[in-house]
């Protein structure tokens, strides 16, 4: 399958955006002072584990989607240099 240039760049940007957003979220999750992520004893709560699982899943999906976009961009550049 051949991806168009806009689709390739969109997928690459989506992957990068996903990493940026979820890294920020995980940092904030660890710094949580509201009592949602950690109880009074400092132990992680169900809220913490569920959101950490969401973040890890998003990292994996963002990496896969970004890699597809990167491969599409590289293929288009290779194709342009082969023709030129």
Residue with tokens 């590289």: 74
Top-confidence residue, 61 or 79 = 61
Residue with tokens 């950690």: 38
Local confidence band at 2 (pLDDT 50, 70, 90 cut-offs): confident
Q: Are 29 and 52 in contact (CB under 8 A)?
A: yes
User: What would the pLDDT profile of 15-40 be if each residue is shown by its tens digit?
Assistant: 999 999 999 999 999 998 888 999 98
- Work out the percent of the chain whose per-residue pLDDT is above 90: 79
């Amino acid at each position: 399958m051949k991806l168009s240039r806009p689709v390739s760049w969109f997928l690459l940007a989506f992957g990068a955006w996903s990493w940026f957003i979820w890294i920020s979220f995980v940092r904030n999750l660890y710094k949580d002072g509201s009592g949602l992520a950690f109880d009074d004893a400092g132990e992680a709560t169900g809220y913490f584990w569920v959101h950490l699982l969401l973040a890890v899943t998003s990292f994996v999906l963002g990496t896969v989607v970004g890699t597809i976009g990167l491969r599409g961009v590289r293929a288009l550049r290779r194709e342009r240099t082969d023709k030129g």
